[in-house]
Each structure stands twice: as structure tokens, then as C-alpha cells.
Amino acid sequence: MTASRRGDADPVIRVRELRKTYGALVAVDGVSFEVRPGEVFGLLGPNGAGKTTTVEVLEGLRQPDSGEVTVLGIDAIRHADDLRARIGVSLQTAALYPKLTVAEVLDLFRAFYGHGRATSELIELMDLGEKRATRTQDLSGGQRQRLSVALALVNDPELVFLDEPTTGMDPAARRALWDVVLGLKAEGRSVLLTTHYMEEAEVLCDRIAIMDHGHILESGTVEELVSRRFHERAVRFDAVEGLTDERMAAIPGVTSVKHEDGVVMLYTRDVPATIGAVLASTDELGHEPANLAVRRATLEDVFLDLTGRALRD
Amino acid sequence: MNALLLLTVANIRSFIRDRAALFWTLAFPLIFVFLFGAIFSGGSTARTMGFGDLDGSDSSGRLREAFAALPNLELVEGSEAELTERMRDGELSAVIIVPAGYAETVAAGGAPAQVTVYTDPSQSAADGATRQIVGFVLAQVNQAASGRPPAVAPSFQSVQTNDLNFISYLVPSILGMSLMQLGVFAAIPLVADREKLILKRLHATPLRRWQLVGSNVLMRLLIAIVQTIIIVGVGSAVFGVQVAGNWLLIGLLVLLGSLAFIALGYVIASFATSEESANGMTSVVQFPLMFLSGTFFPIDGMPDALQTVARAMPLTYLGDALRQVMVDGTPFSPLWVCFAVLAAWLVVCFGVAARFFRWQ
């Protein structure tokens, strides 16, 4: 990686009070965060949360209404042209020249930068070898996504933006892409990725910012996010008729009761006592709790606690 | 520079792999050339007239022979009713009826003998020709009857002016029309790329917008040159159109004309919100240009109001200039005026497109 004049402690991305509206819609409403060199930073949130708008401002593709954005020490709002050669970008929905082959598109994009990684190397990295001579219009959704990521790496960038990189991929391709992202990190590159997959964020991201309705609700490492909210563990089971929230909340050790898609979640400091009380209560009602399980709180719980709804699309 | 050239190559590759685009730009103008060429050079100028001899005498027979001796005239015989019916059906351009008693009237030498000639005055050219032919034949007969040698005898030479001129007129016109179409459709791929977010993706690279537009324009100019070679080549090889002009001047006109219409295409694309609306708007612009710019017939034959419209059309000046330079066509405007008008369209359209084209 090119060692710049910036000190190691300087963030590769610094966003301050970013705001962007489209008419009456406030897409991004006062967002601030920093990404440190060499880390994988995740913007996590449902569709429409403002993730893509935020990322496109950082890439120099959109002018915000207000706020400050510094990327690799460059003002991304006023001097975006100076930035483009040093970043790699994979957009969420962009099509590519439909009549050109995979290899031709990679060659073409490298020409835009005047330097970069060899086409064969990128094709191997993204496992597109069999599709080398295939026109992009004939690729599957997942293959197109892989080509999009390959194009983001064509200029050997120090900072890579990946907007929903695994959408449309099957589980095997998704895991392969995760390896590529972890490989970028191992090479010392910084990555900003958006996703609405909890598991993806947990596996890949050093730090996460949870976004909803244009706001960052909370940010930190997965550990921080979970332990900040949940000292307790979750006891979950399928909802039982007649077992009221009041009754469950009264169980010793239980701090909160949540519902999600017909599943009850009891957050508790005393797991054995809670399970005992649940079994006693349901037995009294003539039922047995189905799919009873205990788990540690996850990002999913954090999101549910922050927004009152599950992050599923 | 390298990026500009490689993007141009990529554009050309995409173009060649798009069969429909290839057909409309290269084959479609040729279809026009062949179609109009076949219509206007294949037909003969021979006319068919009906001749009804109700007298059946030697005199009327000599009259028939005088008509039959004319070049390019075919005589069909029959009754008056039958022949006039066939004329109404369009098979005959005129009908001549020699009444019964014709020989006696001629022999008596008193009042002139009458022959009836049916013509269709609404077909002014055919009507005039029939009158000339009949007048010429009857003058011969009258003079023979008078027994004196003719004082003046015409000598007929056949010159097929109309046919050759029309193809010579058509080839530069169709070239102009093709360059116009190539130009006005130029920005549609850009609108499509904008819609498919390809432009956004390109904007995230160091590629500059002038390189993007430049590669698109370069590709169009290359296609314009190919079109010119194909259309002029077929025009001269198949239809014998002699291209007499200065090739440098032709090249300059092709480039200036293409650029002016490409700029017009960018103006259209500047106000289109989607690929579909760009296509629709382009069609709305191209049809009046095609039919009101003297592409298929000279504009001095059009009504005054339409002539005024034609004078405002850039294609009028490109077609006019191409005809002047390529086949020595009759100038409608001086050549420098054509160049000036095209240059003005280029500058104005470029300005409007630069101001209003949206990249996102």
C-alpha cells in the first residue's frame, strides 16, 4: 500500500453531520462516522435507510446538502476528481456494457486508470475464469456482482467501497466473496461495505454503524454493540396462547420481553430460573413451549431493540 | 488519450455486436437507394395509345402507320367504347378515334377531316405529350395531302434526362438523410447508459466526461465515413451515378453535417427523461427532416409554406451541398451558405446540449 503523508491514526474516511434530501424526503439526516485505516467498516440497515446515498456522497457521486466529508485526506465534496483514481467502487445496481465480454470490460476499466491489476489475476480472484469470454448481458446476477467487485479492484485501490456486494448471490458465492473481502483487509486495504445481512456484518466488519431512516442509531464493534445493550441472554420460544407479556415480565431475572414473527424473546440475567418459570407457566396452561432455545444476544437483537422491528427484507 | 481510444474501440465493438443497430445504420439507407433506384430507372418512357379506326380506309390506314412509326409509341386498336374504358383504367395514356367517312372528307378537300383525341388534362405531362404527338403526326399528314415537300423537318433525339437525374439527385440526398439519422440517434446510447447507471459507474473512475462524449462522437464519425463509402459506392457501381466532386470537400461536408446532427441528437437527449422518451422525441424530429428537406424531391416543387419550413431545416442545406459537390446538382443555396447554416446549427446545438444535458 502507498504510505501517505497522513499519520496511521488518521481515519481514511471522516464524515461530519452529513445531510442529503430529495425533495421532501430526508435520505441522510446528520450522519457522522469515521473509518480507520485497514479496517472493514459496515453500514448496516434495511433498504431505504440511507446507506447507498451516504456511500455515493463519499465516492464523489452525489453532492450533499450539507456536511463535511474527507476521504483519504481529500475533500470528497469539492475535489472528488482527485479521489477517483485512489478508490475502488462497486455500485449496487449498475449495469455494465452488455455487449462486451468480462475480459474486455476489465481491460477497458483498467485503461481509465492507466494502471492496475492484470485482467487474468482479477478473473482468477473473482472465480470468473469460465466466463472470461462471456458477454456481460449473459452473466447471472451473482456473476455480474462478482464482476462488479473485480472492477472495484482493477486500479489496486487503497480504499474499496462495496455497496450490497452479496445481494443476489447464492450461499457458496457469498462465502467466496467474504474471503475476498477478508483478503483485502489482510493486504492492508480499508473497506466500507453496506449490507442488510446481519451475518455478513458480523463475519466481516471490524466496526459497524447501524442506520435507519437516515440516522446512525449506534456504532462500534459487534461486541460493543451487543454488550452495551444486553448484559443478559435471550430465551426464545414460539409464542404460547394465554401466556401474557405481563406474566413473563414478572419472572425473576427477566429484563424485557420482545415479539418477532410469532417468536417470544425473554432477555434475562438468570437463564435457568427463567426457563423453569416458562415451563411451569405453559404447563399450567396445558401447553409445551415449542422451539425453546437459549442464545446470546446478536446484532439482530441489537437492531430489534433499536428500531422495534427485525432486519429482514 | 489511451482511455478515449479504447472506449471508442469498445463502443465500436458494442455497435458491431448489436445486429439491429448495424442494420438500421448500414443496410437501411441502401434499401432506400435500391428501392428508389429500381422505381425510377427501370421503367421505360414508351407510351401506349389507343387507335380506333371506324373508317377502315387506306387514308385512315396511312394515319395509323404515321402514328405507329413514332419511336416509343405503342398503338392498341379497338372500338371507341373499349379503348376509352381501357384509358379510364390507366392502361392507355390517350385514345385517337378516326370517324367513319374520314377518307371521303379528306378526298373532298373542303372542310378539314375531324379526328377525336381523348386525353386526361389532369395528367399534365402526358396530356402535353399527347397533344404534341398528335399535332406532329397530323401536320405530316396535312403536308402530304397538300402534295408539297415539308419546309422544315424535325429530327428527334432521345435524351433520358429524367431518369438519370433522379438517381443522381437521390444518392447524395440519401447520404444526407443517413448522416442525419446517425446524428440524431447519437445520444440515445448515452441516455440508455444513464438510465442503466453505467454513466454513474463510469463517473466513479478517472474517466472524464469529454472522453466519454468524445468516444461516442468519434465512433459516429467513423460510421459516417463507412456509410458514405457504401452509399456512394453502390450509387456509382449499380446505378452509374458519376461522382464528380472534390473528395476533400465531400469529406468536410460529411464531417460537418454529422457533427451538426450529433449535436442536435444531444439536444434531444438533454430533454429526454428515459431511453423510450428519447427514442420517441428523435422520431418526431427525424420525420419532418426526412420529408421536408428535399430528400426525395426538390423543394422548389413544394408549396410556399412548406418551402419556408424546408429553408429552416439543416438537412435541406446538407442535402443541397452534397448534391452540388457530388453530382453537380442545381444549387438551391450557395455552397458557403450551406456550410454556414450547418456550422451555426452545430454551435447552437452544442451550446444548448452543454447547458442542459443531465449526467444523472
Chain B nearest C-alpha distance from A243 (Å):
52
Q: How far apart are CA B278 and CA B192, in angstroms?
A: 9
pLDDT tens-digit profile of B58-100? 888 888 888 888 777 788 888 888 888 888 887 787 888 888 8
3-state percent breakdown (helix, strand, coil) of chain A, nearest 5: 35, 25, 35
Query: Roughly what angle, to the nearest 10 degrees, separates helices B209-239 and B28-42?
Result: 20
| B46, pLDDT greater than 90 | no
Tell me whether A5 touches chain B (CB under 8 Å). no
The answer to whether the Cβ–Cβ distance between B206 and A104 falls below 8 Å is no
Q: How far apart are CA A71 and CA A78, in angstroms?
A: 11
Q: Is residue A267 part of a domain?
A: yes
Q: Is residue A262 part of a domain?
A: yes
Report the mean per-residue pLDDT for chain B. Answer: 83
The answer to whether the Cβ–Cβ distance between B202 and A100 falls below 8 Å is no
Rounded to two decimals, what is the model's pTM?
0.73
Q: What ranges do the domains of chain B cover?
A: 2-40+162-356, 46-146
| The predicted structure's pLDDT at residue A313 | 45
Three-state SS string over B292-334 comes to CCCCCCCHHHCCHHHHHHHHHCHHHHHHHHHHHHHHCCCCCCC
Residue B42 contacts residue B87 (beta carbons within 8 Å): no
Q: What percent of chain A has pLDDT over 70?
A: 96
Q: Are residues A209 and A123 in the same domain?
A: yes
| The predicted structure's pLDDT at residue B159 | 40
Q: Is residue A308 part of a domain?
A: no
| A222, pLDDT greater than 80 | yes
Q: How far apart are CA A271 and CA A276, in angstroms?
A: 9
Average pLDDT of the segment spanning B18-30:
85
Domain that holds residue A178: 13-226
| The predicted structure's pLDDT at residue B162 | 41
* CB proximity list for B357: less than 8 A, separation 6 or greater: B187, B266, B269, B270
Q: Which of A92, A97, A135 would you mutate first to test chain B, the one with the most B CBs within 10 A?
A: A97
Q: Are residues A222 and A249 in the same domain?
A: no
Provide, as residue numbers in chain A, all residues whose Cβ is less than 8 Å from the Cβ of B191.
Answer: none
Q: What is the CATH number of the domain that holds A278?
A: 3.30.70.980
Helices (H) and strands (E) in chain B, counts: 16, 4
The answer to whether the Cβ–Cβ distance between B206 and A113 falls below 8 Å is yes
* Smallest CA–CA distance from A82 into chain B, residue: B206
| The predicted structure's pLDDT at residue A247 | 87
Q: Are residues A197 and A248 in the same domain?
A: no
Q: Are residues A44 and A152 in the same domain?
A: yes
Between B53 and B42, where is the model more confident?
A: B53
Q: What superfamily would CATH give domain B46-146?
A: abc type-2 transporter like domain (3.40.1710.10)
Q: Are residues A216 and A235 in the same domain?
A: no
pLDDT tens-digit profile of A262-285? 888 888 888 888 888 989 888 888
Q: Are residues A118 and A245 in the same domain?
A: no
Q: Are residues A44 and A101 in the same domain?
A: yes
Q: Is residue A53 part of a domain?
A: yes
Residue at which a domain ends, from A187, A202, A226 = A226
Q: Are residues A216 and A239 in the same domain?
A: no
Q: How far apart are CA B183 and CA B220, in angstroms?
A: 7
| The predicted structure's pLDDT at residue A58 | 95
Between B241 and B284, where is the model more confident?
A: B284
pLDDT tens-digit profile of B109-128? 777 778 888 877 766 566 66
Q: Are residues A91 and A221 in the same domain?
A: yes
Tell me whether B206 touches chain A (CB under 8 Å). yes
Residue at which a domain ends, from A205, A226, A247 = A226
Average pLDDT of the segment spanning A29-34:
94
pLDDT tens-digit profile of A72-127? 999 999 999 999 999 999 988 767 889 999 999 999 999 999 888 999 999 999 98
- Can you give the length of chain A in residues? 313
Q: DSSP assignment, residue A232? A: S
pLDDT tens-digit profile of B274-301? 889 998 999 899 888 888 888 887 777 7
| The predicted structure's pLDDT at residue A148 | 92
Residue at which a domain ends, from A169, A192, A226 = A226
| The predicted structure's pLDDT at residue B295 | 82
Q: Are residues A186 and A153 in the same domain?
A: yes
The answer to whether the Cβ–Cβ distance between A112 and B10 falls below 8 Å is no
Q: In A288-307, which positions are buried (b, 16+ CB within 10 angstroms) versus exposed (e)?
A: ebeeeeeeebbbbbbbbbeb
Provide, as residue numbers in chain B, all residues whose Cβ is less than 8 Å from the Cβ of A89.
Answer: 201, 204-205
Dihedral, A90, A91, A93, A95 alpha carbons, nearest 10: -60
pLDDT tens-digit profile of B182-198? 999 888 888 988 888 88
Query: Roughly what angle, to the nearest 10 degrees, separates helices B247-270 and B314-327?
Result: 170
Query: What is the full DSSP assignment across A52-114?
Result: HHHHHHHTTSS--SEEEEEETTEETTT-HHHHGGGEEEE-SS----TTSBHHHHHHHHHHHHT
Residue corresponding to grid cell 464493534: A221
pLDDT tens-digit profile of B127-184? 667 777 787 788 777 777 776 666 555 554 444 334 446 778 888 889 999 999 999 9
Q: How far apart are CA A69 and CA A84, in angstroms?
A: 14
Q: Are residues A180 and A206 in the same domain?
A: yes
Total domain count, chain A: 2
| The predicted structure's pLDDT at residue B330 | 67
Query: Which set of grid coordinates corresponds to residue B90?
Result: 390507366
CB-count exposure of residue B134 (10 Å: 0-12, 13-18, 19+) = middle
Q: Is residue A194 part of a domain?
A: yes
Taking residue A98's Cβ as centre, other Cβ atoms within 10 Å add up to: 17
Q: How confident is the model at residue B44 (pLDDT cuts 50, 70, 90)?
A: very low
Query: Which set of grid coordinates corresponds to residue B110?
Result: 373542303
Q: DSSP assignment, residue B26? A: I
| The predicted structure's pLDDT at residue A94 | 67
| B217, pLDDT greater than 60 | yes
Average pLDDT of the segment spanning A6-34:
88
Nearest Cα to A95, choosing from B197, B261, B161?
B197
Question: What are the angstrom distances between the C-alpha of A36 and each of A9, A185, A191, B99?
Answer: 7, 12, 10, 112
CA pseudo-torsion sign B107, B109, B110, B116: positive
Between A87 and B20, where is the model more confident?
A: A87
Chain B nearest C-alpha distance from A155 (Å):
9
Interface of B with A in 8-47 (CB under 8 A): 10, 13-14, 17-18
Q: Are residues A93 and A21 in the same domain?
A: yes
Strands A159-163 and A40-44: unpaired
Query: Which set of grid coordinates corresponds to residue A12?
Result: 481514511
Instruction: Describe the strand order of the beta sheet including A263-268 as a list of residue ranges.
Output: A254-260, A263-268, A233-238, A293-296
Tell me whether A100 touches chain B (CB under 8 Å). yes
Q: How confident is the model at residue A5 (pLDDT cuts 50, 70, 90)?
A: very low
Nearest to A95 among B14, B198, B206 (CB): B198
* Smallest CA–CA distance from B204 into chain A, residue: A84
Q: Is residue A309 part of a domain?
A: no
| A181, pLDDT greater than 90 | yes
* CB proximity list for B36: less than 8 A, separation 6 or greater: B166, B167, B170, B174, B296
* Strand partners of residue A163: A194
Provide, as residue numbers in chain B, all residues whose Cβ is less than 8 Å from the Cβ of A111.
Answer: 2-3, 6-7
Q: How confident is the model at residue A4 (pLDDT cuts 50, 70, 90)?
A: very low
Q: How confident is the model at residue A50 (pLDDT cuts 50, 70, 90)?
A: very high
Residue A302 contacts residue A250 (beta carbons within 8 Å): no
Complex ipTM > 0.95:
no
Q: Which of B12, B201, B207 would you mutate first to test chain A, the one with the most A CBs within 10 A?
A: B201
| The predicted structure's pLDDT at residue B289 | 87
Average pLDDT of the segment spanning A134-161:
92
